[in-house]
Structure 1
Amino acid sequence: MTIALSLMAGSAGAAVENLVAKEFTKVMPDGVAIAMWGFARASDTSCPSTSIVEGPSAPGPFIIVPHFDDVLEINLCNELDEPVSVVIPGQAMPKNGVAGTLLSPVYHTAGKFAGRVRSFTQEAAASGGTQSYTWDAYKHGTYMYESGSHPQVQIQMGLYGGMKKDFGAWRLAYDGNAHQLGGFFYDHEAILFYSEIDRALHDAVGAGTYDPEGDPALVMTSIADYHADYGLINGQAFPAVAPIVIGTSGDTLLRFYSASPDDRTPVMQGLYAKHIAQDGKLYPYFSEQYSLRLPAGSTRDVMLTVDCMQAGTPGRHVLYDARMKLTNAGSASAGGMRINLQLCDPPADADLDGLPDDQDNCTNTSNSDQRDTDGDGYGNVCDADFNNDGTVNFSDLGIMRDRFYDSDPDADLDGSGIVNYGDLGIMRSQFFQTPGPSALGD
């Protein structure tokens, strides 16, 4: 089962993506393997695809439409065993390929749902079908792409992704309106994509026991009993989700996306941000808040101004869901929809011992105790130069030999309380080298 995406050179003024829809498996932080569907990215339109350059994921590959391209074309290859389509809420309905006719909804033609809409637009048939979609006059903003077929299941299975169009080279979002004629310049950008997993639904689809027309006593027939076991940000549940790192002062555009079936309320504890757009449209007026309402299937753009000189700004801030989707499958430990914002570059600490390099007496060797028994500015763990001649050599080896199995503090490099083979190993790693480096040595 498969769909593929790939940005590549198209005709003048057109961005072209090749999408392939595929099955894959995601392992959650508690070790549970979940059956998923997702979009992959490919370099050509072969179907079944032989040119995947970015594997299936949920959310799918991020699509960037260059600001000078007015047309977006997506070529869809469907390797799943049911029809799939692509729609972009907030943009016009797509046409059938370049210069094609407007595509129409697809209806069930048989069974208990005959006459009802199955898809918002034309589909790529199951197991190798293809379909080309074109959006003319593609608008600036933050949008989601997703399957328009059987969306209550296919979106939950993972057929969705994020996209944007702005003046990327100039870091300028939107093309302005009466209240913000120049749009919004930004120094940094971060993506926050919210989604959920109902394990029962994924297990049923993966096992082939989801059937809307089946016997409810034997199979799952709807998502009426939907319950999210996992809340995800950027495709991962905490603590697996990578933090958002904003290293310097400036304006950061936070692009929020939601493929969750429920509304979510992200809260930036202790921080305020300007709300500028919803579903790709600038607000007529802007407000500053520490939280936002993120309805199901929507996008939001907020501008976070970071001042690294302001007290309380540098360091870690937690962004979490105020609707409390904060556990994984009911576990008592922290999880779910939370992510850390690391603001402002912390002081350089090459050896990760908690001491800034400009205060560390062994900048490349971890020694949080800063033990320096001879007081020469070099910590013991990086100072086997016992005679202080500037080089660790055979003279120092002779000194260590004389003190072996003794408690001499200067020769006790590892702080174990006795000079032994552990200290000899440290000396060996420093042989014919200078002590340190140290920010405090001569």
Structure 2
Amino acid sequence: MKPPSGLRGSALVAVCLLIPLSPAAAHAAPPARIPVTFAAAPQRLGPPGPPAGVLRQTGCTITGSTAVCDLWAKNGQLVLPGAAAPVPIWGFASTSDAPAGTPGPVLVVDQDDTVTVTVHNGLGTALSLAVPAMTGLAPDHTGAAAGGSKTYTFKAGRPGTYLYEAGHTENGARQAMMGLTGALVVRAPDAAGKPSAYGDAASTYDDEAVLVLSEVDPAFNGAADPLSTDLRTYRPKYRLINGKAFPETDPVATDVGRKVLLRYVNGGVLAHPMTVLGVDQSVVGQNSRPTAYPEGAVTLPLPPGESADAITALPGGPDGRRFMLFESGSLLNNAGQKVGPTQIGVSPQQAFGGMMTYLDTNPLPVSGDHVGPTAAKVSAAPSPVSVTTPVTVTADFSDVATGNSAIDRAEVVVDDLSVAEGTGIAFTAGAFGASSVTGATATLGTADLTRLSQGRHTLWVRAHDAAGNWGAVDSVTINLSVTGASTTGLTVSPNPVGGIVDLAVSATGDDSALGGTVSAAEYFVDAAGANGSGQALTLNAPGTAISAESGTVPAAVVGALSEGRHTILVHTLDSLGLWGPPATIDLIVDRTGPTLLSGAVLPATTNGTNGSPADPTDLRINAAFTDTTAGGVHGGIAVAEGFIDTAGADGSGFTFVALDGSFGQPTENTYALVPLSELTRLADGAHQILVHSRDTAGNWGPLTGLTFTVDRTGPVVTANATAAAGVVTLNATATDALSGIAKAEFFEGADPGAGFAQPMTVVTPTTFRATVAGLANGAHTFAVRAQDAAGNWGPVGTATVTVTGSALIFANNFDTGAWSQQVGTVRVAPAAAFGNSPALTVTGRVASYVADNTPANEAALHVQFGFAAGTYNTNGAIVDIFQGRNAAGAAVVNVQYRRTAANGSQLRTGLLNSAGTWVYSGWAAVPVTAATVTVDWKSATAGSAVLTINGAASGTASGNTSNRKIESAALGVIVSTGATTGAGAIDNYTSTR
């Protein structure tokens, strides 16, 4: 017969592409059709013959209104296009002897039949049956035990198309994914003398077809135990219609001017929107329930587990046209199979596959031979095959059952069936001229093979008879090796290499993808030579598809390599005689040890008790190392170590830690801790920490010394003092052989302890000075000592001076409680602002102060004290911290303190004039740290109170004070006008006439 028009031939055919819609828009008015040209892809099967008509009775035995059905669940296999091997399935069969299939047999019953289905479980776990849309069939969570059976009975009261599947047992969902699904059709009575989907005129049809949609993931189906496979890895590679993927799907046989009922059943786990190109679909039912009226749809969305009934009316016109039925929401391919240009270096095209078939209007031939020969027993040898070896294709052809014409020729087409018939590689041997040809052969020469890429290729075989018909194709797959076995997992050890040692080379040769075996392997250093000229590697499993490879690069070869980067190349020979592409790895040759970039010992000077700021009980050694070989190739730092003064053997020192947590970088910042107890054996003086590091190639770098000093002896102090008008100037000079001088202090009388005496002012790095006022007349002996940078306090040096002309009234630094009076809760505690010496705490608003009653009818008074505002916050309130009082205890002069958010901490002085009115100076800023505060008050017609802060005049209050005298003085929190927070301190009080 003549080749049908439409997509059956090899020409390009113009069709109309309907744009797929989203589910929400699937029932909207159809969009405009856009002409698109598709490459034809012929079916493996012959013409569909006459129109399909109505479904024949299958799957059940019907007696009266009773239908008895059997489903046998068993293991089976599914052959898929391009797959290397059949895929395991679990499927249903209609008899105990029939093979399992997916989907299972179509069960066809009539409306209102009482249906009994017996499930025979040939699987290893319990199995039940579910018909999700069928009323009257309760979920079964127990099912038939392995090897057992169970019967389900229900009334088919509603016509339509139903899904049946593995039911609600523990493993039911996975059993359905393995293939245990099928379709149940409940036929409605005819309407107006024609078959009808739902018994009404709107759903009448001429032909019908059941289309069970599903997917297959070969990895899931082929797993050792699909019931425990992680479903997050489920990735379907094939999409099937009635268990077949295009180009092996069966067309729907119909004719022009006929209405086709498409019974869709989605037995998969994915949604499948289905489209027919060139015609519309009219949805008459969904999930076995009729629609209120037929709904037009270009694309019919079909969620998992649901069914739909759609009628397609084919237009009139010439016979032979095909209308493509396909899934428009996904890729139409089979596991990404490629066809098309097969030359090396030219990218192949995606092959058509998946959920695609045709509504075929080709009529049944009236007479003559219109069907081409069939092909069978197709084989190819050798396979796997090298590109250097010809392939012989063998096949049998027969036209006996399809017209009994003589077979005059046959051909092989590689991968791409879109090529024109008659342009393939011809069969050159065989008894052509008869209606049956056995053992015909064709040869793919090396010139044919060199145009192909490495991997699997499909060889399509077809024959031609004398009546002019090309027959259906059959195929065989070959595995072609173009580049040889692959080499993976290449390692070289040691790497980097520093010494002149043997290198161990290991890799894996793999020819499993091509079906061959590993025969040999070799390596080269830096540049590959001719195949077979390298140094041989040993195979641990020669003659197998995968083999470990190992060998040695001799030390002599390593010793001849220059410092820097080199390359090791390994490739593998397979049983087909091809050397594979080389695997490479960089080899770093590094014979130079790392060097020190920078380093320091903290502290640089120690007395054996003071450690680093971060680690007070240890010396901390910081060191940065870098490693660079000749040619600028960076190795990595593997370890670092140190020694005290004398180096030991490499690797025997105390270890360093990488700051980033691990070694291995070309530059590493490191540190080590040396306990201070390790210094007890060291004499005073300069010492060294000797440091170096080793790189990953095993090279130790040079030792570098980092100097530190051990100093356990404090400075020696000489002191002298001079006195004038009751003021003593104390000078001291300190010397230390190993360390600088940090500070000095003095005291008179009892030793308060090192660090707790009065601080002295630095004049030069080695000289200090202090001024002492308010001393009583007579001889005074001052003790002076100094501390060096290592923290050592030296011995005391003394200076004696005689004071004359002193006007001292009272002095107290709160070391003793020599005050005349205490009011409230008086707290004395070490204050950091005054070198941690005892000081009066100033806090709160409640009266808490000390008083001195030594003044006697004083007409002039000089007062000096240290004040540290600290955290004492009055929030704007005013606090009297000093008062000079008369004989009645009333204040006549004062110093007041306040802190505000705007102005910070401030002081002022005030006096009570003869008229009984207080007169104040302006507010002056005072630091929160220790400040020296003085007040000079006098009784006179032009009296005054002068405030000085840290030697600077800070305010004056003036007035007639001639009738005022001072009999006592108070210091602390005397009066407060509001609440306060925090605390300050007062120390070193002195009053003189």
TM-score by length of 2: 0.29
**Structure 2 gaps, min length 5:** 1-57, 339-350, 373-403, 409-430, 435-465, 468-993
- Cα deviation, 1:363-410, whole Å, max 9, x if unaligned, reads 97899xxxxxxxxxxxxxxxxxxxxxxxxxxxxxxxxxxxxxxxxxxx
Bigger-Rg structure (1/2): 2
Distance change >3 Å, CA 331–CA 167, structure 1 → 2: same
Deviation at 1:350, TM superposition (A): 2.9
| Aligned: 1:40 with 2:48 | no
Contact 2:202 2:294 in 1 (8 A): no
Distance change >3 Å, CA 321–CA 209, structure 1 → 2: closer
Read off the aligned partner of 1:77 and give its amino acid letter. H
RCO comparison, higher one (Cα < 8 Å, 6+): 1
Equivalent residue number for residue 173 of structure 1: 196
Deviation at 1:105, TM superposition (A): 4.6
Distance change >3 Å, CA 92–CA 322, structure 1 → 2: same
Distance change >3 Å, CA 292–CA 9, structure 1 → 2: closer
Q: Which of residues 168, 172, 175 is equivalent to 1:151?
A: 172
Q: Which has the higher strand share?
A: 2
Q: Distance in 1 between matches of 2:405 and 2:297?
A: 42
Q: Distance in 1 between matches of 2:352 and 2:206?
A: 32
Q: Which of residues 137, 145, 148 is equivalent to 1:125?
A: 145
Q: Which of residues 98, 101, 109 is equivalent to 1:65?
A: 109
Contact 2:281 2:310 in 1 (8 A): yes
Q: Which of residues 120, 132, 146 is equivalent to 1:77?
A: 120
Structure 2 counterparts to residues 11-410 of structure 1, below 5 A:
12-31=64-83, 32-42=85-95, 52=96, 54-67=98-111, 69-94=112-137, 103=138, 105-106=140-141, 122-126=142-146, 128-148=147-167, 149=169, 150-167=171-188, 171-176=194-199, 181-182=200-201, 184-204=203-223, 207-208=224-225, 210-211=227-228, 220=229, 222-309=230-317, 314-332=320-338, 333-345=351-363, 350-351=369-370
Q: Distance in 2 between matches of 1:90 and 1:145?
A: 9
Q: Distance in 2 between matches of 1:75 and 1:171?
A: 32
Deviation at 1:351, TM superposition (A): 4.3
Q: Distance in 2 between matches of 1:89 and 1:105?
A: 11
Identical counterparts, % of pairs? 28
Read off the aligned partner of 1:14 and give its amino acid letter. T
Distance change >3 Å, CA 93–CA 123, structure 1 → 2: farther
Q: Distance in 1 between matches of 2:352 and 2:370?
A: 28
Read off the aligned partner of 1:7 and give its amino acid letter. C
Contact 2:287 2:308 in 1 (8 A): yes
Q: Distance in 1 between matches of 2:67 and 2:277?
A: 39
Deviation at 1:346, TM superposition (A): 8.0
Distance change >3 Å, CA 330–CA 267, structure 1 → 2: same
Deviation at 1:308, TM superposition (A): 2.7
Read off the aligned partner of 1:82 and give its amino acid letter. T
Contact 2:220 2:226 in 1 (8 A): no
Q: Distance in 2 between matches of 1:239 and 1:322?
A: 16
Please give the secondary structure, in 1, of the residue aligned with 2:285.
Answer: strand
Contact 2:332 2:354 in 1 (8 A): yes
Distance change >3 Å, CA 89–CA 74, structure 1 → 2: same
Deviation at 1:78, TM superposition (A): 0.5
Deviation at 1:24, TM superposition (A): 0.3
Deviation at 1:343, TM superposition (A): 2.2
Please give the secondary structure, in 1, of the residue aligned with 2:219.
Answer: helix
Q: Distance in 1 between matches of 2:219 and 2:264?
A: 27
Deviates more, 1:163-172 or 1:72-81: 163-172
Deviates more, 1:135-144 or 1:162-171: 162-171
Equivalent residue number for residue 737 of structure 2: none
Distance change >3 Å, CA 105–CA 15, structure 1 → 2: closer
Deviation at 1:6, TM superposition (A): 4.5
Distance change >3 Å, CA 89–CA 173, structure 1 → 2: farther
Q: Distance in 1 between matches of 2:295 and 2:353?
A: 30
Q: Distance in 2 between matches of 1:225 and 1:241?
A: 27
Contact 1:142 1:163 in 2 (8 A): yes
Contact 2:59 2:106 in 1 (8 A): no
Read off the aligned partner of 1:173 and give its amino acid letter. S
Read off the aligned partner of 2:173 and give its amino acid letter. Q
Contact 2:210 2:264 in 1 (8 A): yes
Q: Distance in 2 between matches of 1:183 and 1:133?
A: 33
Contact 1:248 1:345 in 2 (8 A): no
Contact 1:249 1:344 in 2 (8 A): no
Deviates more, 1:146-155 or 1:187-196: 146-155
Deviation at 1:164, TM superposition (A): 0.7
Q: Distance in 2 between matches of 1:315 and 1:365?
A: 28
Contact 2:88 2:221 in 1 (8 A): yes
Please give the secondary structure, in 2, of the residue aligned with 1:90.
Answer: coil
Distance change >3 Å, CA 137–CA 273, structure 1 → 2: closer
Contact 1:231 1:325 in 2 (8 A): no
Read off the aligned partner of 1:172 and give its amino acid letter. P
Read off the aligned partner of 1:152 and give its amino acid letter. A
Read off the aligned partner of 2:80 and give its amino acid letter. M
- Cα deviation, 1:5-27, whole Å, max 9, x if unaligned, reads 941245x4221111111000111
Please give the secondary structure, in 2, of the residue aligned with 1:270.
Answer: coil
- Cα deviation, 1:38-71, whole Å, max 9, x if unaligned, reads 11113xxxxxxxxx3643210100100123x431
